[in-house]
Amino acid sequence: MGIVLKDILAVLPAGDKDEVKETTIYIEGNRIEAIGEKPQGFHEEKVIDGKDRLVIPGLINCHTHSYMAFMRNVADDLSFMDWLFGTIDPIEQQMTDEDTYWGACLAIIEMMKSGTTCFNDMQMNIHQTTRAVKESGMRAVICRGLVGSGNDEAGQMRLRQAYEERDRAKDCGRLSFMLGPHAPYTCDDGFMRIVSEEAKKNNMRIHVHLSESVSEIQQIQEKYGCTPIKMADKNGLFDVPAIAAHCVQVTDSDIDILKEKKVSVVTNPASNMKLGNGFAPIPEMLEMGVNVCLGTDGAASNNSLNMFHELSLLTLVHKGTHKTPQCISAREGFRIATINGAKALGLEQEIGSIEEGKKADLAILNLNTPSLTPRNNLIAGLSYSANGSEVETVIIDGKIVMEDRKILTMDEEVVYKKISEIITRMGLDKKEY
Amino acid sequence: MGIVLKDILAVLPAGDKDEVKETTIYIEGNRIEAIGEKPQGFHEEKVIDGKDRLVIPGLINCHTHSYMAFMRNVADDLSFMDWLFGTIDPIEQQMTDEDTYWGACLAIIEMMKSGTTCFNDMQMNIHQTTRAVKESGMRAVICRGLVGSGNDEAGQMRLRQAYEERDRAKDCGRLSFMLGPHAPYTCDDGFMRIVSEEAKKNNMRIHVHLSESVSEIQQIQEKYGCTPIKMADKNGLFDVPAIAAHCVQVTDSDIDILKEKKVSVVTNPASNMKLGNGFAPIPEMLEMGVNVCLGTDGAASNNSLNMFHELSLLTLVHKGTHKTPQCISAREGFRIATINGAKALGLEQEIGSIEEGKKADLAILNLNTPSLTPRNNLIAGLSYSANGSEVETVIIDGKIVMEDRKILTMDEEVVYKKISEIITRMGLDKKEY
């Protein structure tokens, strides 16, 4: 279908920064065919009037656990290990396949409604997530969370599930897969080495949690005599392109490793604050040239999957911790939430910016909103004042998946109802909060 | 007009915390006449169906500069004194009466659309702000920002303007007034004493900026040999009920003074981070029993007036700085954004909670939204996952001012157009950002 975004303000790349310019964008199939001039023989099937609208590259949520959306607000104000092993784990034991599916649907609705067009997910029931992604029209990179000791059967089974789902989903161009060793405190060194070898052999990327909490640092130090990042490096995880979530508690030599091994770091400021883990040294990593991208983490520890909220945190909190108003500008933050994420996922030729030939993954914002008035400096508006509800229309892979804030590919009311049934079945509505 | 909110989930006070309960609320005139049972002789003129809805007390924004809404995104990533004296001041020199008015209109639209029903404002052109408040149906407490040296004529003129406007606005029950000595670096000790005496004589409260930036601390230390809070105290500012904005850079004995003199502290986390001022020691003040309330500051330093955004910052950032997930819970944060604000403004008998006899200042949220799904723990949802766009209907002083997200008392499109004209006239659209 040929879609035209006519006379619209657009955030376009201009060298190593972005600029806002009025233009017209022509979409054919799943790609941006042209920007500015109408291509010869272009057949307009749908014209979106760009008056009072801004189009941006869809935001890229580089670390989340989509199924956790149904656990929003069930486990607040707990320390990291109490949260994970005391509250989340027992809920996960009760989860059915369908619960994962409806959780992922809720997550996808929330992300689309706040301008996210691609997410990088780690979970257990991988097939239910790919199912939700396929049906919804979302783009995602997915890994089966891998937990194991040496070459134990449980770890091997999880690896088989990862490959089975990758092979089964080959027909969907919006899906790609990584290998996801969960974390150094849930995978031992033997299993880490197995996963690293598998990733090399199969030409797959790695998605891992690293150096999130102080207790993780202590555990790994006691067990292996080094930091989690050093442990991951020693076991080969960074010998393929890797994406490391959190990296809150890091040493200078950890940052050197991340830089040298070209590891992408996903920062998750809301989750890191909420679980009492603190602030990752993101300005220092950027200064060193590490590729930093942005994620929301799961709704059980954020509790939002709204990347505009996360972008505002990214561009605010480090100004606070460093007492420097110049720290992570609005423009730098916006690139962290878009093109840097695409790089981390190995998709920078395909998504992350509005360019001819790239996939049409776009969010269109209504500018007749108080948060984006006035319009003199809209990239500042995106980072500091937008809340995500300005997003009106979302296009993914050339297909309109949301229009006038209505999701076209899923029935929102059914999803809300199903989530409510899960909460009731698990007795979480009766819990004392 | 008799309004009924029928079978609706409501956040109601229950001892010193809040609970969410389904009930029916009856509004007559500008007050909540009854909760639960229909009062005898109640005449229903409008029934709002509470299905899938949550009603909360309107949020109270305890520190802002409404006119600055037109300066959103014009002065980012600058240090405090460069921001104020290098960028904001020159813009203020060009401001006309009408600019103040349209700025206040934009601020009020943004606040209503994100569930704020009362704001505490400091500005220069006080009459244009009261005009916007009167027309819009908003509730506000306003002060004319006072700057002066001893009993200089400029300071005296500003005091006269404050009183004139207070007297002129006597007919509007939604308006009240404070005296607003701007800050210790813009008011000398002689003028501070004059303002304190005036406040005592006229039975008025004080609204002042205190201990915001490190450079303020240095200036006041050099000039008076003490902290700004001590300077304010010595000059009598706390001899009437006072509300002190910021209090970021404070000593333990500053906190003792705030506690002893029953000063309410307005924390403005976004603005404090954005200007590189850091984090106020709010958990320590709460621990000491200081009444803490919440504000957005102006849109020139936030850049949002969305109290849901501010509430999420309040309940997240201190968990990060203190590495304690229990620090400022969702429930504590919600009270800081509502009833604590009412106390700070001396309006706790009138607003800040849903109780029989109080003014009907209410925000109704649509729960069929991803950010508020599931519904098991909605107060956590309000603090951690809501973004403000869930607010659908707003009632202030018993009058519906927004319905289905449409502002009924102002023409939004006209306001956006006027703001754009101001930006163009001042050349701010041509500025390099």
The whole-chain average pLDDT of chain A stands at 96
| Six token digits for residue A62 | 């580089």
CA distance B43 to chain A (A): 34
Query: How far is B313 from chain A, CA to nearest CA, in Å?
Result: 8
Contact in structure between A118 and A66 (CB atoms under 8 Å) = no
SS (HEC) of A154-190:
HHHHHHHHHHHHHHHCCCCCCEEECEEECCCCCECHH
Structure tokens at B150: 């001893």
Residue B227 has pLDDT above 80, yes or no: yes
Q: Could you tell me which of A55, A365, A371, A403 has the C-alpha nearest to residue B412?
A: A371
A316–B274 C-beta distance less than 8 A = yes
Amino acid type, B253: S
If you average pLDDT over residues A275-283, what whole number do you get? Answer: 97
Q: Which residue of A has its CA nearest to B213?
A: A323
Question: Residue B81 — pLDDT band, cuts 50, 70, 90?
Answer: confident
CB pairs under 8 A between A and B: 240
Find, in chain B, the residue whose alpha carbon is nearest to that of A379: B73
**Residues of A with CB below 8 A from B368's CB?**
412-413, 416
Q: Is the pLDDT of residue A155 over 80?
A: yes
pLDDT of residue B432: 80
Q: What is the mean pLDDT of residues A25-44?
A: 96
Choose, out of A271, A376, A383, A407, the residue to mutate when testing the contact with B (most B CBs < 10 Å).
A376
pLDDT-above-70 percentage for chain B? 100
- Binned at pLDDT 50, 70 and 90, residue A179 comes out as very high
CA distances from A351 to A335, A356, A402, B372 (A): 12, 11, 18, 30
Q: Do B374 and A309 touch (CB under 8 A)?
A: no
Report the gap between the CA of B3 and the closest CA in chain A (Å).
28
The tokens for A432 are 């004392």
Q: For A237-249, what is each residue's pLDDT tens digit?
A: 999 999 999 999 9
Instruction: List, for residues A370-400, the tens digit of each pLDDT value.
Output: 999 999 999 999 999 999 999 999 999 999 9
Angstrom distance (rounded) from CA B311 to CA B302:
13
Rounded to whole angstroms, how far apart are CA atoms B136 and B414? Answer: 14
Q: What is the pLDDT of residue A250?
A: 97
Sign for the pseudo-dihedral over CA of A110, A112, A115, A116: positive
Q: Is pLDDT at A1 greater than 80 in this prediction? A: no
What is chain B's length? 433
Residue B255 is predicted with a pLDDT of 98
CA-to-CA distance for B157 and B313, rounded, in angstroms? 38
Please report residues of A whose CB lies closer than 8 A to that of B269: 320
Most B CBs within 10 A among A267, A310, A312, hence the mutation to make, goes to A312
Q: Quick check: B84 pLDDT over 80?
A: yes
* pLDDT at residue number A324: 94
Please report the ipTM that was assigned to this predicted complex: 0.97
List B residues 107-146 in contact with A (Cβ-Cβ < 8 A).
109-110, 113-114
Does the structure show a pLDDT above 80 at B246?
yes
> What's the pLDDT score for residue A205?
98
Q: Which residue is it, tokens 């002190």?
A: B244
| Cβ-based contacts of A419 with chain B (< 8 Å) | 373-374
Residue B319 has pLDDT above 80, yes or no: yes
pLDDT confidence of B96, banded at 50, 70, 90? very high
Instruction: Please check whether residue A79 touches B, CB under 8 A.
Output: yes
- Helix, coil or strand: residue A67: helix
The yes-or-no verdict on residue A83 having pLDDT over 80 is yes
Mean pLDDT on A400-405: 98
Nearest residue of B to residue A331, measured between CA atoms = B433
Q: Do B74 and A428 touch (CB under 8 A)?
A: no
Match 């107060």 to its residue by tokens.
B379
Average pLDDT score over residue span B146-166? 96
Q: How large is the average pLDDT for residues B291-310?
A: 97
| Cβ separation A377–B327 shorter than 8 A | no
Amino acid at B4: V
Residue pLDDT, tens place only, A348-376: 999 999 999 999 999 999 999 999 999 99
Predicted local distance difference test score (pLDDT) of residue A15:
84
Q: Which positions 192-211 of A are in contact with B (Cβ < 8 Å)?
A: none
**pLDDT tens readout for residues B414-426:** 999 999 999 999 9
Q: How far is CA A160 from the centre of its chain?
A: 24
Helices (H), A202-246: 214-224, 228-234
Span B163-219, pLDDT tens digits: 999 999 999 999 999 999 999 999 999 999 999 999 999 999 999 999 999 999 999
Shortest Cα distance from B175 to chain A (angstroms)?
A: 23
Interface test with B, best of A375, A377, A378, A390 (most B CBs within 10 A): A377
What residues of A are in contact with residue B83 (Cβ under 8 Å)?
325
Read off the pLDDT band of A80 (50, 70, 90).
confident
Buried b (16+ CB within 10 A) or exposed e, B238-252: bebbbbbbbbbbbee
Per-residue confidence band for B154, with pLDDT thresholds at 50, 70 and 90? very high
Nearest CB to B370 within list A109, A321, A373 = A109
What is the pLDDT at residue A41?
Answer: 93
Pair A263, A242: CB distance under 8 Å: yes
The Cα of A272 is separated from the nearest Cα of chain B by a number of Å equal to 7
The C-alpha atoms of residue A240 and residue A250 are separated, in whole angstroms, by 21
Q: How confident is the model at residue B66 (pLDDT cuts 50, 70, 90)?
A: very high
Partner residue facing B319 (CB), from A72, A274, A374: A274
3-state secondary structure of B237: helix
CB atoms inside a 10 Å sphere around CB B153:
8
Put simply, the chain B residues between 303 and 322 with a CB less than 8 A from any chain A CB are 303-306, 308-309, 312-313, 316-317, 319-322
- Which of residues 31 through 70 in chain B touch A, CB cutoff 8 A? 69-70
Give every CB contact of residue A243 below 8 A, 6+ residues apart in sequence. Answer: A62, A63, A120, A178, A205, A206, A207, A208, A263, A264, A265, A266, A293, A344, A345
Please state whether the predicted TM-score (pTM) of the whole model is above 0.90.
yes
> Does the pLDDT value for residue A296 go beyond 90?
yes
pLDDT at B1 over 80: no
Cβ contacts (< 8 Å) between B322 and chain A: which residues? 276
Measured between CA atoms, how close is B104 to chain A, in angstroms?
12
Which residue of A22, A53, A297, A303 to mutate against B (max B Cβ within 10 Å)? Answer: A303
pLDDT > 90? residue A430: no
* Cβ neighbourhood burial of A90 (10 Å; 0-12, 13-18, 19+): exposed
pLDDT tens digits for range B342-374: 999 999 999 999 999 999 999 999 999 999 999
* Helix (H), strand (E) at residue A420: helix A412-425
Q: What angle do CA B303, A61, A20 make, to 5 degrees?
A: 50
